[in-house]
Amino acid sequence: MIALQGLHKSFGDKHVLTGINLTVAQGESLCVIGQSGTGKSVLLRCILGLERPDAGAILWRGQPLDVRRRAEFMRGFGMLFQGAALFDSLTVWQNVAFRLMQRMPAQRAKAIAIEKLARVGLAADTADLMPAELSGGMAKRAGLARAIADDPEVIFFDEPTTGLDPIRARRINGLIRDIVRETGATAITITHDMDSVRTIADRVVLLQDGQIAWDGPVGAMDDAPQLAGFLGKAGT
Ligand X SMILES: Nc1ncnc2c1ncn2[C@@H]1O[C@H](COP(=O)(O)OP(=O)(O)OP(=O)(O)O)[C@@H](O)[C@H]1O
The binding site for ligand X (CB under 6 A) comprises 11, 16, 34, 36-42, 192
In the complex, minimum distance from the CB of residue 45 to ligand X, in angstroms, rounded to a whole number: 8
Query: What's the CA gap between 232 and 62, in Å, rounded?
Result: 37
Nearer to ligand X, 10 or 183 (CB): 10
Nearest CA among 3, 35, 51, 52 for reference residue 207 = 35
Nearer to ligand X, 34 or 131 (CB): 34
Burial class (CB in 10 A: 0-12, 13-18, 19+), 131: buried
CA distances from 16 to 4, 10, 211 (A): 15, 5, 9
In the complex, minimum distance from the CB of residue 55 to ligand X, in angstroms, rounded to a whole number: 16
In the complex, minimum distance from the CB of residue 231 to ligand X, in angstroms, rounded to a whole number: 16
In the complex, minimum distance from the CB of residue 6 to ligand X, in angstroms, rounded to a whole number: 18
Burial class (CB in 10 A: 0-12, 13-18, 19+), 126: buried
In the complex, minimum distance from the CB of residue 163 to ligand X, in angstroms, rounded to a whole number: 13
Nearer to ligand X, 51 or 202 (CB): 51
Give the DSSP letter of residue 90: S
Cα Dmax for the chain: 54
Burial class (CB in 10 A: 0-12, 13-18, 19+), 215: middle
Nearer to ligand X, 39 or 143 (CB): 39
Burial code (b: 16+ CB inside 10 Å, e: under 16) for 66-82 equals eeeeeeebeeebbbbbb
Nearer to ligand X, 17 or 96 (CB): 17
Type of residue at 16: V
Nearer to ligand X, 31 or 148 (CB): 31
In the complex, minimum distance from the CB of residue 117 to ligand X, in angstroms, rounded to a whole number: 29
Query: What's the CA gap between 28 and 153, in Å, rounded?
Result: 11
In the complex, minimum distance from the CB of residue 16 to ligand X, in angstroms, rounded to a whole number: 4
CA distances from 97 to 48, 108, 156, 187 (A): 21, 9, 18, 21
Nearer to ligand X, 7 or 138 (CB): 7
